[in-house]
Structure formats: structure tokens, C-alpha cells
């Protein structure tokens, strides 16, 4: 956390001035506010820049309604997006959809469609006048913090923003058909994590059916857990359809030491199957089966790897539906985190607004266990968790002991303050840091709107600050129609160029029912197929899968990192069958590839070139050359751990020079003080000598004695010494000025060097490209009865 230089007013008191953009647009630093003096009830000069790495140890924001908590958290998400850090936002109230209301031009017509008509009526203004008022309010508010429309545009360009509405088609729908797919090999290999995933999935599904199931006592829970565990352990997926079939015709004969019929009779199992079938057949449940499957990797990054702020708006859902979806989402996020490589920098952000009910101190809803696990383990994988609430008594503060940063706003009751103090004390004990309970209690009592106490275990002491103006227009929850309008351009639109029958005929013509014969020397891999829609046919299409390790080095900066790059390239019948420019980057793990296809699958035709072994030798060489020409790495593509290490290394290079100049300034200032003292002493002595000589003359001595003449000579010499001392003072001051100028120049050189890192691009050498695999890969597609195809591995 850093502070900006303060300016002084005419009265000598510091005053706040909007900072220049260069003061807060720093790599890895989040601009969240300015210092605030609770005694003076006024902001102080300077900036509060929060280190993005500190969010890896998670944060919690607590404050009553109207405290400014939502604005603070929106500012955190905005800053993360500007730093190319994606976010998953769980929005139970609907306020976080405001993140899409960003208007670079700040014109009244931009605000007009989104204003709250009731607010306009309360203000006694027409809708147009209220929109103009809001535009001026936001423009002036941003300007007072050194922000403008250009920064809003950078925010919009830095990341994609999307509103997902599970169980509704107002925003982007989310299909849960694939939500019961088998977890990755890494998750299945972690017994504790695997059992947690099984238990929370069973609990959330039963909760959706209105069954409050105890994991130890409920036979429904135990039975479903066994079905999930058995299928997932073998790598087999489940969806609601085949789960119903397994409930009716279980693949197991015993549960524990009891036979299945004694433990859970078929009649009772049929009731559970019927309840699930009724849910699946319900017209209202159809919206849960639409849209893309829940895929954290694709949710966090859009086309070309661009970071995304994904807002899951669940305000329209019932309490059981909210709990069901939040639990599924948290489990998927946990599985994704565990599949990532370790890092100490912030890779992604999870923010949940109004955590009330999902993380209680006593009960154990399905959402609590994955949240606890994320708070304990996600930091190792660069996932920062930020939780917010206005009801601190309803939070499990023991579970929040691992939270490194607490943003504390105005609280409603003494009971709320006591619970917050207990949580802070526990967090301090976990971090082995000091905690002054009495002082923190006093600060909490004096907080006002948009004024927060930040207690960060990475800093020496708590800080009181005022939150900056949000770039997003905070108008409150959006309506269903407004969400639909915002997302209208992001819905996938099918091509109308061909009729349904034409598409079906083309798909049928391209499919060969039997698997093509391929020479044994050609390596083949099968991309795992996920569950598809009911009635669809699984068809494998040929692709070339190429994967390489590419090492990027730069001796000047000391950067040295290796990236795993994998691509899927289509194969055509053209003279050049593989065009690597049309290859798509893929995140398919090589360890997940299968050696055999799924049962009853069909195969598309194999182009002749793909059936010749020599083709793959040529394609391997072509791929390596293509990577050499096209693979680049800049600091935004590199891991933040590498970037932060590089910044630290550059700062370390400059640190000795800065320290020497600062020491020189201190020494020069000491010389100034010493010379000033000597000059004052010489001036005083000279004044006394001159005064004595003049006084003698005035007393009427008619004759100049030798003593008088000596005094005059001494006085004259004193005047000379005084002049010399004053010249020494001037030279000492010049030394201070010169040293300060050198320090300013050195700091400017450092900032320019750090600023140039954004455009730093590195290319690999040919020797640093190692192709690990180039194989014929069969990619699964689901073809429906109309001939439409959808990828079956996403």
C-alpha cells in the first residue's frame, strides 16, 4: 500500500487534490481510496493503493446498508479487471449487475435507459432531467478522484462483462446437465476433496427437492453419495436422466454391510426417482437445461483468452434453488482451482455479495464446506476470495480466521461490532500479528458512510480510508428486461443459411458409422466426451492435437518462464491439409486423453492425408515453425508471479542507488544545519564587536587607543567570517538541491522502466520449443435430430 505526495493549502493545512492518473495506474496496485482523518472528519492527502497479491489471502467486507460496502467491492472488481484479472461474482441481490453500466462518454442519454424511475419521481424530476443530473453527478464524482471517461473505456476494453442467470433466460442461461460430470483426475486422486465434492453435490441436489438431508443419518444422502462416488471414481459422468435410471436400477447391491433392499427398499427409491423426474419434467426447470455448461475455465476467459467478469445473478431464484446453484458453482470453482499450478500472485477473484445464509456459524448448508475449503486452499493456486455481508453475527468467524484483509464499515449494533472484533482477533492470532482490540473498537465507533477501516495482515497497522468513486453507475438492481437488453448481443445465434433438413442431411453424409482404419504408427487420442442432450448422437471428428512446452527468456529483465501450449487444428482435403493459423488453443489436459472411444459413437470421414504417417512428421515440423513465428509472451500473458518477481527485481536494482542518494541528502541537510548554526554564531559575535566599537566612539573618546583600534579590526574580521559562513550555508543548500534532483531523476527513470513492462514482448528461440505430442485426435460432437452439432468435450 502506498501514499501519494500531499499538497499544502494557503492556510498550511493539507488538502485533497485529484491525483494524476500516473499516481494510481500502477502494475499490481488497486486504487481504492484515500486516507481519512476520523478526528477531523475529512479526507487526507494521499492515495490508498491495495497490493493485488494481498487478495490471495482473501478478504471480507462488513458494513450495514448504506455504508458503501457494495461500492467498495465494485471498485475492487473494477481494479482487478483493469489488471486483466478475471472475476466470478455471485450476486444474490442484483446490485452487482451494475458492473455493466459503464459509460465512457458520460452523457445523459447514456444514463437515461438505466435510471430508476422511482428515484426520479422522489427527486421531483422528469426522467430526462434526472438522467442529466446523474450524468453530471458521475462525471463530477469521477473527476474529483482523478478518473474520467478514458479510464472507463480502458475498463471496458480490458475485460468482457457478462450476466449469467441460472434458471432463467433473462441473461445468459447456464445448463446443469453437465454439472454432475466426473471431476478431473486430480480431484479423483485427492480422497478428501473427492469425498467433499460427493457430499456437497448430494446435499445440494436433495436440497433442491426440499429434503434436508443429514450426510450421516439420511439414507437418501448416503445412497446418492454412493452412486456419485461409484460413477465418478471410474471417470463416468452422471446427469439427471441416468441418475434417475440408477436410482431405479442401482449398479450396487450393498450399502455398508446391509443389502440394498434392506437399507433402501425399491418402493422408497422409486419415490425419490419420481421426485427427480418431476423436477426434470417441470416446465419451469427447462431453463436450467439451457445454455452453456458450467465450465470455470471458459467462464473466466472469453474469446482469445480475454479475462471476463462473470456475474451470476440469482436474485430471481428461490432459497433452495440459490443454495443448489451456489453449491454447484463453488464445487466447480474448487475443482478448477485444484487443477491449476501453484502461484503467489492473484490469478482470479471470487466475490460473493451478502454471504448471509451461506456461511453460518452453526449450521452446515451445502455451500459452507466448499467455501471453507476455498478459504484454506485457494490461496495456493492464486484464487482470491472476497466475501461481503451486512449481518456479521451470521458469519462463521472461525472459518474466516484465514482471511488476511478486513474492510470494516459502519455497523448497526454493538453485537455486530463485538462479533467483528472477535473475528479480527482470531485472524490476527492465525497470522501471528498484533491486535489492539480497544483501539480498533474506538475506530469502528467513528466510521461514517464510505469510510472504512482496513485491517491488512500484510501491513504494519490498520488504515482508515474513504472509498473512491465507482466507475460503474450504481443505480441498484436491474430489472429482468434490462438484463435481457444488456445480454442480447452475447447470446449465440444459429445460422439460418441452411434449413433444418439440409443441416441434418449434411451431417449424416459426413458421418461414417464405423471407425476409420488408421496405420498403427499414427498416434491416436480420444478427447473425453461429456454428457450430451437427450436424443443426440455422439460423433467423433478428426483433428490434429499439438502440444509443446515453450520457454520464454529475456536476459535483460531476468524473465525465464515456460508455457504449456496446446492446439486443435482441423484437417481438410485441400492441398495444404493443416492451416495452423486456424488452430484453436485448447486447455484439454494431456493426462485426460483416452485411448478408446465411447460406446455406440459414430465417426466422421478421415481426410486421406490424415491416414499417412509421413504427414504427421511434416505437421510436427510445421507446428514448431509456426510457434517460433507466432508465439509471444508479454507481462499480461505471463503469470502474475513472474511479473511481480520481475518488478521486485527491478526495484531491488534501484534500491541501493536510492538509499545512497537519500543518505547523501540527510548528510547534506545536517551540513546545512551545522553551517547555519556557525553562521548565526559568527553574525552574533560580529554584531557585538561592531557594537562595542561604535559605542566607544559615541561616548566621546577623543583619542583612538590601541584597544579601540584592535576592536575595530576584530569587528572587521568578524564581518568577513560572517560572509564566509553564509557562503558555506549556500554551498550546503546547493548540495541538498543537487542530491534531491538526482533522486527525482532516478525515481522517474525507475517509473519509466516499470511503465515499459506493459509493452514488453518476448519471443522464443527455436531451441526453446519442445513439441511434446502431435497426434490424430478424435474430437466428440453431439448431433441432434435436426443435424445441429455442438462440441461434446466442453
C-alpha to C-alpha distance for 726 and 182, rounded to whole angstroms = 84
Nearest to 309 by CA among 87, 473, 470, 70: 87
Q: What is the DSSP letter of 413?
A: S
CA 416, chain centre distance (Å):
29
Higher local confidence (pLDDT), 688 or 370: 370
Q: Using 50, 70 and 90 to split pLDDT, how confident is the model at 115?
A: very high
Provide the pLDDT for residue 193: 82
Minimum mean pLDDT among 138-142, 421-425, 616-620: which range?
421-425
Question: Could you read off the pLDDT of 204-233 as tens digits, one per residue?
Answer: 889 888 888 888 889 999 999 999 999 999
Of the candidate ranges 307-316, 451-460, 671-680, the one whose mean pLDDT is the lowest: 671-680
118 close to 94: Cβ distance less than 8 angstroms: no
3-class DSSP assignment, residue 407: strand
Lowest mean pLDDT among 138-147, 415-424, 553-562: 553-562
Could you give the 3-state DSSP secondary structure of residue 789?
A: strand
* pLDDT higher than threshold 80 for residue 84: yes
Using the predicted structure, report yes or no on whether residue 505 has a pLDDT greater than 70.
Answer: no
Q: How far apart are CA 408 and CA 444, in angstroms?
A: 8
Q: Under 8 Å CB-to-CB from 361, ≥6 apart: which residues?
A: 394, 395, 396, 397, 398
CA atoms within 13 A on the CB side of 340: 23
CB of 83 within 8 A of CB of 375?
no
Q: Which of 695, 692, 699 minimizes the C-alpha distance to 718?
A: 692
Q: What is the pLDDT of residue 502?
A: 36
Helix axis angle, 127-143 to 149-158, nearest 10°: 90
What does the DSSP assignment read for 731-767? HHHHHHHHHHHHHHHHHHHHHHHHHGGGG-EE---GG
Q: How far apart are CA 431 and CA 80, in angstroms?
A: 25
Q: Give Rg (Cα) of the chain.
A: 35
Which residue(s) pair with 385 in the sheet? 350
Q: Please, which residues have CB within 8 angstroms of residue 766's CB and are 6 or more apart in sequence?
A: 624, 628
Q: Does residue 635 have a pLDDT over 70?
A: no
Pairing label, strands 42-43, 761-762: unpaired
Give the confidence band of 694 by pLDDT, cuts at 50, 70, 90: low
- 329: part of which helix (H) or strand (E)? helix 319-338
Q: How confident is the model at residue 503 (pLDDT cuts 50, 70, 90)?
A: very low
Round to whole Å and give the CA distance between 71 and 473.
10
Place of cell 465512457: 104
State yes or no: pLDDT of 634 exceeds 60. yes
Among 172-186, 247-261, 642-656, the range scoring the smallest mean pLDDT is 642-656
Cα 108 from chain centre: 31
Reported confidence tier of residue 716, pLDDT bands at 50, 70, 90 = low
Answer yes or no: is pLDDT of 691 > 60. Answer: no
Give Cα 125 distance to the centre of its chain.
39
Task: Name the residue among 127, 60, 72, 137 with its Cα closest to residue 103.
Answer: 137
Beta strand segments in 597-677, E: 602-604, 633-634
Pairwise pLDDT comparison (306 vs 282), residue with the higher score: 306
Q: What is the mean pLDDT of residues 548-554?
A: 89
The pLDDT of residue 410 is: 92
Q: Which residue intervals of 402-521 are DSSP H helices? A: 414-430, 437-445, 480-487, 500-510
> Measured between alpha carbons, how far is 725 from 742 in angstroms, rounded to an integer?
26
Residue 5's pLDDT band, with cuts at 50, 70 and 90, is very low
Q: Give the bridge partners for 174, in sequence order.
A: 292
3-state SS string for 337-374: HHCCCCCCCCCEEEEECCCCCCCCCCCCCCCHHHHHHH
C-alpha to C-alpha distance for 312 and 173, rounded to whole angstroms: 10
Position 305 scores a pLDDT of: 86
Q: Are strands 537-554 and 559-570 parallel, antiparallel or unpaired?
A: antiparallel
Look at residues 776, 763, 408 and name the one whose alpha carbon lies nearest to residue 611: 776
Residue 632 has pLDDT above 90, yes or no: no
Write down the pLDDT at residue 160.
95
The contacts of residue 778 (CB under 8 Å, 6+ apart) are: 524, 525, 526, 527, 540, 541, 542, 543, 597, 603
What does the pLDDT read at residue 495?
32
Q: Report the C-alpha gap between 617 and 638 in whole angstroms.
A: 30
Instruction: List Cβ neighbours of 348 (8 Å cut-off, separation of 6 or more).
Output: 85, 86, 87, 88, 300, 382, 383, 384
For 12-22, write each residue's pLDDT tens digit: 455 668 888 77
Instruction: Please report, rounded to a whole number, the percentage of residues in the chain having pLDDT higher than 70.
Output: 83
The answer for residues whose C-beta is within 8 angstroms of residue 329's C-beta and 6 or more apart is 88, 90, 294, 312
Bridging pattern class, strands 29-37 and 42-43: antiparallel
Give the model's pLDDT for residue 7: 38
Mark out the alpha helices in 144-190 (DSSP H runs). Answer: 149-158, 185-189
For residue 18, what pLDDT is reported? Answer: 83
In this prediction, residues 567-576 reach a mean pLDDT of: 92
> Residues 335, 339, 342, 348: is their CA dihedral positive or negative?
negative
Residue pair 689/715 in contact (Cβ under 8 Å)? The answer is yes
Amino acid at each position: 500500500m502506498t501514499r501519494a505526495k500531499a499538497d499544502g493549502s494557503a492556510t498550511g493545512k493539507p488538502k485533497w487534490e485529484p491525483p494524476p492518473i500516473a499516481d494510481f495506474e500502477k502494475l499490481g496496485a488497486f486504487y481504492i481510496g484515500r486516507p481519512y482523518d476520523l478526528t477531523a472528519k475529512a479526507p487526507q492527502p494521499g492515495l490508498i493503493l491495495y497490493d493485488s497479491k494481498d487478495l490471495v489471502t482473501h478478504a471480507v467486507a462488513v458494513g450495514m446498508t448504506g455504508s458503501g460496502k457494495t461500492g467498495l467491492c465494485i471498485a475492487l472488481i473494477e481494479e482487478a479487471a483493469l489488471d486483466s484479472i478475471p472475476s466470478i461474482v455471485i450476486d444474490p441481490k442484483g446490485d452487482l449487475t451494475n458492473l455493466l453500466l459503464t459509460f465512457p462518454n458520460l452523457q445523459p442519454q447514456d444514463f437515461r435507459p438505466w435510471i430508476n424511475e422511482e428515484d426520479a419521481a422522489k427527486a421531483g424530476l422528469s426522467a430526462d432531467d434526472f438522467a442529466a443530473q446523474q450524468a453530471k453527478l458521475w462525471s463530477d464524482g469521477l473527476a474529483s478522484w482523478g478518473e474520467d471517461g478514458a479510464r472507463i473505456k480502458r475498463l471496458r476494453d480490458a475485460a468482457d462483462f457478462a450476466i449469467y442467470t441460472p434458471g432463467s433466460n433473462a441473461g445468459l442461461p447456464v445448463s446443469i446437465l453437465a454439472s454432475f460430470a466426473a471431476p478431473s483426475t486430480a480431484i479423483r486422486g485427492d480422497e478428501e476433496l473427492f469425498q467433499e465434492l460427493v457430499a456437497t453435490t448430494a446435499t445440494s441436489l436433495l436440497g433442491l427437492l426440499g429434503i434436508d438431508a443429514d450426510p450421516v443419518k439420511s439414507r437418501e444422502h448416503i445412497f446418492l453419495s454412493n452412486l456419485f462416488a461409484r460413477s465418478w471414481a471410474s471417470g463416468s459422468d452422471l446427469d439427471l436422466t441416468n441418475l434417475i435410471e440408477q436410482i431405479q436400477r442401482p449398479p450396487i447391491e450393498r450399502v455398508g454391510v446391509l443389502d440394498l433392499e434392506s437399507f433402501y427398499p425399491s418402493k422408497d427409491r422409486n419415490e425419490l426417482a419420481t421426485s427427480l423426474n418431476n423436477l426434470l419434467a417441470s416446465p419451469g426447470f427447462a431453463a436450467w437445461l439451457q445454455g452453456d455448461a458450467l465450465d470455470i475455465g471458459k467462464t473466466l476467459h472469453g474469446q482469445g483468452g480475454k479475462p471476463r467478469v462473470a456475474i451470476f445473478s440469482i436474485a430471481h431464484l428461490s432459497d433452495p434453488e440459490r443454495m443448489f446453484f451456489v453449491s454447484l458453482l463453488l464445487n466447480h470453482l474448487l475443482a478448477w482451482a485444484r487443477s491449476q499450478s501453484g502461484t503467489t500472485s492473484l490469478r482470479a477473484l471470487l466475490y460473493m455479495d451478502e454471504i448471509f445464509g451461506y456461511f453460518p456459524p452453526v449450521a452446515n448448508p451445502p455451500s459452507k464446506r466448499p467455501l471453507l475449503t476455498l478459504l484454506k486452499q485457494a490461496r495456493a493456486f492464486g484464487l482470491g476470495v472476497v466475501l461481503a455481508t451486512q449481518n456479521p453475527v451470521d458469519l462463521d468467524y472461525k472459518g474466516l480466521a484465514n482471511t488476511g484483509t478486513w474492510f470494516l464499515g459502519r455497523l448497526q449494533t454493538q453485537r455486530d461490532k463485538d462479533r467483528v472484533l472477535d473475528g479480527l482477533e482470531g485472524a490476527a492470532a492465525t497470522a501471528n500479528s498484533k491486535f489492539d482490540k480497544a483501539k480498533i473498537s474506538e475506530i469502528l465507533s467513528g466510521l461514517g458512510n464510505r469510510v472504512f477501516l482496513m485491517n491488512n495482515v500484510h501491513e504494519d497497522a490498520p488504515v482508515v480510508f474513504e472509498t473512491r468513486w465507482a466507475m460503474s453507475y450504481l443505480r441498484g438492481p436491474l430489472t429482468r428486461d434490462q438484463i435481457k437488453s444488456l445480454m442480447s448481443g452475447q447470446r449465440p445465434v444459429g445460422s439460418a443459411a441452411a434449413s433444418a433438413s439440409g443441416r441434418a442431411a449434411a451431417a449424416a453424409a459426413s458421418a461414417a458409422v464405423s471407425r476409420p482404419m488408421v496405420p498403427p504408427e499414427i498416434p491416436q487420442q480420444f478427447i473425453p466426451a461429456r454428457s450430451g442432450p437427450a436424443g443426440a448422437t455422439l460423433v467423433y471428428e478428426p483433428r490434429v492435437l499439438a502440444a509443446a512446452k515453450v520457454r520464454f527468456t529475456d536476459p535483460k529483465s531476468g524473465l525465464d518462464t515456460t508455457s504449456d501450449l496446446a492446439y486443435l487444428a482441423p484437417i481438410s482435403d485441400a492441398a495444404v491439409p493443416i492451416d495452423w493459423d486456424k488452430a484453436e488453443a485448447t486447455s484439454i489436459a494431456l493426462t485426460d486423453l483416452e485411448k478408446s472411444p465411447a460406446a455406440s459413437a459414430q465417426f466422421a470421414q478421415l481426410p486421406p492425408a490424415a491416414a499417412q504417417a509421413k504427414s504427421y512428421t511434416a505437421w510436427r515440423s510445421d507446428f514448431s515453425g509456426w510457434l517460433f513465428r507466432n508465439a509471444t509472451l508479454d507481462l499480461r500473458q505471463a503469470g502474475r508471479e513472474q511479473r511481480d518477481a520481475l518488478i521486485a527485481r527491478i526495484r531491488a536494482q534501484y534500491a541501493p542507488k536510492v538509499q545512497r542518494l537519500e543518505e547523501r541528502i540527510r548528510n547534506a541537510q545536517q551540513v546545512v544545519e551545522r553551517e547555519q548554526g556557525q553562521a548565526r554564531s559568527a553574525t552574533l559575535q560580529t554584531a557585538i564587536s561592531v557594537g562595542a566599537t561604535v559605542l566607544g566612539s559615541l561616548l566621546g573618546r577623543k583619542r583612538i587607543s590601541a584597544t579601540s583600534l584592535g576592536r575595530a579590526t576584530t569587528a572587521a574580521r568578524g564581518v568577513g567570517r560572517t560572509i564566509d559562513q553564509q557562503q558555506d550555508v549556500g554551498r550546503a543548500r546547493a548540495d541538498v538541491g543537487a542530491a534531491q534532483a538526482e533522486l527525482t531523476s532516478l525515481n522517474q527513470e525507475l517509473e519509466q522502466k516499470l511503465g515499459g513492462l506493459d509493452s514488453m514482448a518476448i519471443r522464443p528461440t527455436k531451441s526453446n520449443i519442445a513439441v511434446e505430442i502431435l497426434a490424430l485426435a478424435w474430437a466428440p460432437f453431439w448431433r441432434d435430430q435436426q443435424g445441429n452439432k455442438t462440441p461434446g468435450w466442453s
